[in-house]
Every structure is written in C-alpha cells, then in structure tokens.
Structure 1
Amino acid sequence: MSSSFYHLLLSQSTTKLAYSLYTMTIITFLYQETGSATLASAVTIISMVSQLMSSSTVPLMMEKFPLRRILLLSQISQLTMYVLIVVSLLMIPSPLNYFLLLIFLSLISFFNGWSNPSRSALIPEIVLKEKLVSANSILSTTDQTLLLFGWSIGGILIAYFGHGKVILITIALLILSIISLFLLKTNATTIKKKRKSRIETLKEGWIIVFKHPTLRTITKMDIIELFGGGIWIGAVTLVYVQEALGQDEKWWGYINSTYYAGSIIGGILVWRFSKTINKSLIGYIVIGSIGVSILTIIYSFVSTPLVALILVVLMGPLYQVRDIAQSTFIQNTIDKETLGKYLASKATINQAVFSLSVFIIGMLVDLISARFVYLFSGFLLLCSGIYAYQKLFKKQQIEVKHNQNL
C-alpha cells in the first residue's frame, strides 16, 4: 500500500472515532440535562436526515472540487462546528444551548455525509487495482474496530472527564485527521470538464444507478436487503434478547459487542484472503448474501444465548465478504470520473430505505415478535442472494464460457 492510503486510513479513522465520541456525548448530555429520552433520540433522527440531505449534494461538490479537497472541506467544517459546540456548552445558558446543539449536530452530520462517498471514490486513485480488496478490507475492519472502541470507551470518558473535555478530544482527533489529509497525495490528473448544469450533474449518478445493467442489479439487491436492515438497531436486539433469549440488558451488550467483533474478524479474514476473493468478486457477493441469510434464519429460532453469540460471530465474516466484494466490484466497474457520483446516489437510496426499514421493523416487532423480524430479514437476504446468483453470477459464467470458445 502507498503512503497516501495510510494517510487516508489515519484521517478517516480519527474522524470515525471523533464522530462516535461526539454522538455519545451529545446524547448523554441532553438526556442528563433534560431527562427526555425523546430529545436524546432526536440526535439519531437528525443525524440520519442530515446525512440523507448531504448525500444529494455530493455530486455537485464532485463536479467542482477534487475528492481530497471535499474531504478537507468536510473535516474543517466539522471542526468549526465542534468548536462552536464547546462555546455553546461553556458560555450559553440552558435551554438555548440545547437548541444550538441540535443545529450544530445537523450541520456536523451534513458535512460528515460528504465523507463516505468521497473516501470510497478516492481509493482507486491511490491504490492499485489488484490491491483494492485488501484496501477495502483494511478500511472496513478499522471502521468496525473504532465503532466498537468508540461506543465502548465513550461512556467511560464522559463519566471521567465530562462532556466538555470529551468534545475537546474530538477536536484534537479532527485536527489530526486534517493534517493527515494535507499529507495525502493522489494520482488523479486534472481533466478539463465540459460545464454541466446542476440538474445534469445531479442526474448523472442516478442514471448509472438505474440504467447501468450490472449496477442496477446491485441497487436492487441493496434495496431488498436494507428493508430488513433494521434488525441490528439497539431497540430490536434488546427486545430479541428479552423475548427470545430470556436474558437482561447484560446479554444485549454481549450481542452488540459480538456483532462488531465478528465484523472485525471478518475484515481480517478478507484481508488475509484478498487475492482469492479478488478472483471472483461476484461469487463472493453471492456466498456472503446467502450465508448471512441462512445464519439469520437460524438465529430467529434460537433460544440459547451462547448459540446466538456464536451465530452473530459467524455472520461477521460473511457480512464483510459480501460488502467488501461488492465495494471492490463497483470500484472496478465504473470509471473514476463518475464513481463518486454513483456512490453518492447509492448512499441516498440506502439511507432512505434503511430509515424506512427501521420504522417497518419496529412496527413488526410490536405487532408480531422479535423472532419474526429476524426470520423476515433472513428471507429478504436469501432473495437478494438468489437474485445476485441469477442476474450476476450466471451471466458472468456464460460470458467466461463464451470467451473461452472464441
């Protein structure tokens, strides 16, 4: 890997950790100050809506600025908001500062929404094609590790240092991220682009999403899977632990931690076998989807807590195989000029569908049971895997045979 890849890794790692610490800080501060669970939960809702709005603006940013500069703008804008949060906490009285915190939260989430599509689109510029699986697995594993670390240590840091000092830690992390981005060098060449209207720019990614024959299949797969994606949010896993496993909140924590641990193990395994996976990306997308679906269906019938933990750990590698193989396949399929716009449009769809999924899954848990939603999600994953096999894998095999006969 090039030094630029490691600068990107450091930058995104510190940003992810800062974002998780800051989110925990705002949630706990609002809850401790007001005692309102509704106000505290508004943090998650505002973040999701802001990132959804942000994704729709990414193509316009990519038309004007290089990817590295978009990441820098994202980090510097977030840093400014963090500084304003500290000022708000120290100098502005309640309840006015609650209102300001939610405004700053929405802006931070908006600017953070530029990061993921830009990062994914930047990877092919700084990593050789044959190293993409390895690079994606390293980034994914690091993301999962920092999510686990951030949510595990965040509460301890808040209890020990207080809300204001934890925000100062996030500011230090973002400064480190910005320095790392300044050191990053890309292989991108400056191309004189034909001036496009805003409508044309916004449509470009959506046209690829819905009209590119292969990527249209990927989009449909994501939509099918994400309609059951809400099964791993905290509220649903808590109900499952209590209803299906007959355990208390302690096992809820075990399930959540094990989920991240399985993803970390999966990322390491994908990195270790990256060359093998790179030879058949579509095959591993299918294996991952069908494998996760089978384990999720089994998980829906389990009553023994230890068996549930084992199944969650086993899901981790399969989730990672599917996601990393899919990311690499997309990066290999689209040219670098339009990759970011496609990823931004795809992220908008994914966030919208996932938000709807959270609502549907929550309703099904209340109306039927937690077991049913895992069975329902497993069935959707199975449909997605079979669809990928029919539309992608079989088509690829036909093309391979045709080329061999030429």
Structure 2
Amino acid sequence: MQYNLSFYSLLITQLSTNLAFSFYTMALTYYVYNLTNSVFYSSLITFISVGSKILSGLSISIITERIKVKSLLTFNTIFQILSIILLLIFIKNSANLIIIYALIMFLSFVNGIFTPLKSRILKENLDKENMAKGLSIITSLDQILLFSGWILGAWIISMIGNNNLLVLSLVLLSLAFIAVINIKIENKKEEINSKNPIRTIMSSFSLLNRKPLIRNLIVIECLEVLIGSIWIGSVTLKFVQEHLGQDVTWWGYINANYYLGTIFGAFVVMKYSKLFNHQPIKKIVIFMMLYGILLILYSVNVIDIIALFLVLLVGPVLQIKDIIQETFIINNIDEKDMIKITGLKNSLVQVSFLFSILIVGYITDHIEIQYIYTISGIITCIIAVIFSKFSKIKKLHI
C-alpha cells in the first residue's frame, strides 16, 4: 500500500516528538540531580510528567470542544518549542527549581495531548485493512528511536553537556512542527456536550460505558500496566543480581533483548497484517496467555542465557498483542468519539502506571524478586481467561 503525505508527516511528528521528549527528560533529570544531588528531586520529573499526562488525557475532550483539532495540533508543537526555549534561558540563569518543574508540567501536558490526536489522524487517513500495518510501522520505528535515544542522550550529555541535549530537542520539535503542517485532519471543534468541564469529562466515561468490549479492552490494558512495572529498571536490576546472580552488565542485556523483541514484533505485524486483522479478539487472548506463560517460565528459570531468550520472546508477544488491540480500538470507534475515548484511555493507563510503581515497589521489598514475575504471569493468564469468556458472551458487541 502507498501511504499518503499525512501518514508520513504523522510518522515524522511522532518520531521527532518522542525522541525530543526522551532527550529533554534526560537533560532535565541530569540537571536537577547535579543541582540538588538528590534522587528524590530528580525523580519528581517523572512523577510530574506522568501526572501531567493524566490531566491532559482527562481534559482533552474539554480542549477539543473549544479549539479546532488541526489548530490544536499546531499550537501543541509551538507550545513545546517555546517551553524548551524558556527552559534553556532559565537553566542558563540558574532559575528556581519550581520554575523548572512548572515548565516540565506544561511540556508533559501538551505532549500528552498528541496521542489521542494521533489516533484521530490515523482513523481519518487509514482504512481498517491497513490500520495494523500502519501502526506497526510507526511503533517499530518509534521503538528503535526510543531504544537508541536513551543511549545517544547519555552519550551527548557526557560529550557536550545537557544544555546541548535541550538544543537538540528544540531542533527535533522544529522538525515536528514542519511535519504537522502537512498533516491532513478535519479542522473543526468537537461537539459540545456541556459547558460544565466536570460533566464533559463524565460524558467520556458514559460514552466508554456504552461500548462494553472497548471498555474491557481498556480495563485489561490498565490491569496489564498495573502489574507491568516488573520491567522497570530497579525491578529488573534486582532480578538480575539476586535471582540470576549476574552483574549490572546483564541488566543491560535483559533490557536490550526486551526492546529488540518489541521491534521484531512490530515488523512481524507489518509483514503479516492481514493475518492479525482476522479474529483480533481471539488473537489478543492467545498472546495474553503466551505472555503470562513466558512470565512464569522467566520467574522459575535461573540460567542467564535462557532468561535472555525468554525476554527476547516476551518482546514480540507483547508488541503484537498491543498493536492488535490498538488497531481494534481505533477501527471500532467513530471519528467523533475517537479523541474523547483515547484521551480517557491514556489517562487511565497513566494512573495505573503510577499505582503500579508504588504497588510493585512495595511488594518487591517484602517477597523474593522472582515471585513478582510469577504472580504477574498468573494474573495475566487469569485476565486472559476471564476476557475470553466475556467476549464470547457479548458476541463482539462494541
């Protein structure tokens, strides 16, 4: 299939925006840590970033009722560019940390708006048959850049300093702005449900509740995220050291293999997109079960080489399942409801992630590390079985 200019412009926007996000997050974390010598103050950047994305997801329906979609897409990129410029100025003049945190909050808020807009753009520019393939192209390239971005970011900081990493983020966002101009999307405001912002947000919940299968797919994603922080750095490091008995080098190997697996998974969907378009719910359940089984095997294994192999398998299984799931959601939501539902979905997922870090972090301190993966695998299998029965009862009622 030949993709149109809007798709390629969206691709450039996604890649450059996400790479810029990883770059300026690294730069600011490094700056705050050097300034305060505090893990707490530097980790606040991640907390503020996630919290701001939750707010943007919840308020997207309010915003799109007042600002035209294409205009919002353009302003979104401009605001990020201006925020980076202000950060450069304030950092150069050793501004108070509160100002830095406020700009991070604003940056993350406007960055979080892009994801629901992306779903709307894909809905308008790709048909159902090519949605999975288009998503896999974006996902695979995005994963490659994010994977290399953290390595490049650390290297750039060590070579030329964190301020120049912010400058590079500014260049990437400028590229995103040029690409945004070429994106074709209907430029109109969303239909106003209520002048009361709270009622507008609640209407998104009501809309989601009328789509039981979509609702439950989102619930599943939230549950997966809730038990999914087993893959964050501190947990995998402890697993490598205490369970596998290896040093920090193997921590890097595990992370690298996971990302390589996700990239491979995206390419598999790209190659066999028609296959994955057939009976998507059944395939989501199958890949969830596979993921749960792999987690259980990973938790009981003590051989490092086998652990690498299992993680390499986890990557594509998760990635394929996620692409099938996102494709199904986008294909089965009306354009007029796309921004509201995907914005709400992103907020719920981010809330789950925050709780996940707290829950998994607490449990990890009280039980042996391998059991975290065992519990996660068992819960995943249970969720898959319950969802399978639910989808059969509902007969794919969306």
Q: Find the counterpart in structure 2 of residue 404 from structure 1.
A: none
Does the 8 Å contact 1:259/1:312 carry over to 2?
Answer: yes
Which residue type is aligned with residue 39 of structure 2? A
Task: Kindly state the Cα deviation for residue 142 of structure 1 after the two structures are TM-superposed.
Answer: 2.0
Stretches of structure 1 that go unaligned for 5 or more consecutive residues are 400-406
Distance 1:27 1:180 in 2: 28
Distance 2:189 2:62 in 1: 16
Q: Find the counterpart in structure 2 of residue 225 from structure 1.
A: 224
Which residue type is aligned with residue 196 of structure 1? S
Distance 2:161 2:267 in 1: 34
| More divergent stretch after superposition (344-353 vs 204-213) | 204-213
Distance 1:362 1:220 in 2: 22
TM-score (norm 2): 0.94
| More divergent stretch after superposition (308-317 vs 384-393) | 384-393
SS at 1:64 equivalent: coil
Distance 1:10 1:256 in 2: 26
Residue in structure 2 matching 1:196, options 190, 194, 197? 194
| More divergent stretch after superposition (28-37 vs 361-370) | 28-37
1:4-403 equivalent positions in 2, closer than 5 A: 4-90=6-92, 92-93=93-94, 96-186=95-185, 188=186, 193=191, 196-197=194-195, 198-393=197-392, 395-396=394-395
SS at 1:65 equivalent: coil
SS at 2:194 equivalent: coil
Distance 1:165 1:331 in 2: 38
Distance 1:149 1:41 in 2: 22
Distance 1:308 1:175 in 2: 41
SS at 1:82 equivalent: helix
CA-atom RMSD in angstroms: 1.8
Which residue type is aligned with residue 82 of structure 1? I
User: Which aligned runs of 4 or more in structure 1 are off by greater than 6 angstroms?
Assistant: none
Distance 2:192 2:35 in 1: 53
Q: Find the counterpart in structure 2 of residue 402 from structure 1.
A: none
Distance 2:79 2:174 in 1: 11
Does the 8 Å contact 2:299/2:373 carry over to 1?
Answer: yes
Q: How many residues align?
A: 394
Distance 2:221 2:81 in 1: 32
**What's the CA shift string for 1:266-316, capped at 9, x where partnerless?**
001111110111122112211221111110111111211111111111111
**What's the CA shift string for 1:364-406, capped at 9, x where partnerless?**
1100022111111111211221122112256548x9xxxxxxx
Does the 8 Å contact 1:145/1:264 carry over to 2?
Answer: yes
Which residue type is aligned with residue 169 of structure 2? T
- Residues 160 and 10 (structure 1), Cα distance of their counterparts in 2 relative to 1, 3 Å cut: same
- Residues 360 and 331 (structure 1), Cα distance of their counterparts in 2 relative to 1, 3 Å cut: same
Does the 8 Å contact 1:134/1:270 carry over to 2?
Answer: yes
Which residue type is aligned with residue 161 of structure 1? I
Distance 1:50 1:77 in 2: 15
- Residues 193 and 228 (structure 1), Cα distance of their counterparts in 2 relative to 1, 3 Å cut: closer
**What's the CA shift string for 1:13-45, capped at 9, x where partnerless?**
000000001111111122223221111111111
**What's the CA shift string for 1:161-212, capped at 9, x where partnerless?**
11111111100100000010001123x3758946632344322321133332
- Residues 191 and 209 (structure 1), Cα distance of their counterparts in 2 relative to 1, 3 Å cut: closer
- Residues 383 and 316 (structure 1), Cα distance of their counterparts in 2 relative to 1, 3 Å cut: same
Distance 1:18 1:192 in 2: 29
TM-score (norm 1): 0.92
Percent of residue pairs bearing the same amino acid type: 32
Distance 1:212 1:396 in 2: 13
Which residue type is aligned with residue 172 of structure 2? L
Task: Kindly state the Cα deviation for residue 214 of structure 1 after the two structures are TM-superposed.
Answer: 1.3
Does the 8 Å contact 1:52/1:348 carry over to 2?
Answer: yes
Which residue type is aligned with residue 283 of structure 1? K
Distance 2:105 2:55 in 1: 10
| More divergent stretch after superposition (203-212 vs 371-380) | 203-212
Which residue type is aligned with residue 148 of structure 2? F
Distance 1:213 1:246 in 2: 45
- Residues 296 and 74 (structure 1), Cα distance of their counterparts in 2 relative to 1, 3 Å cut: same
| More divergent stretch after superposition (28-37 vs 296-305) | 28-37
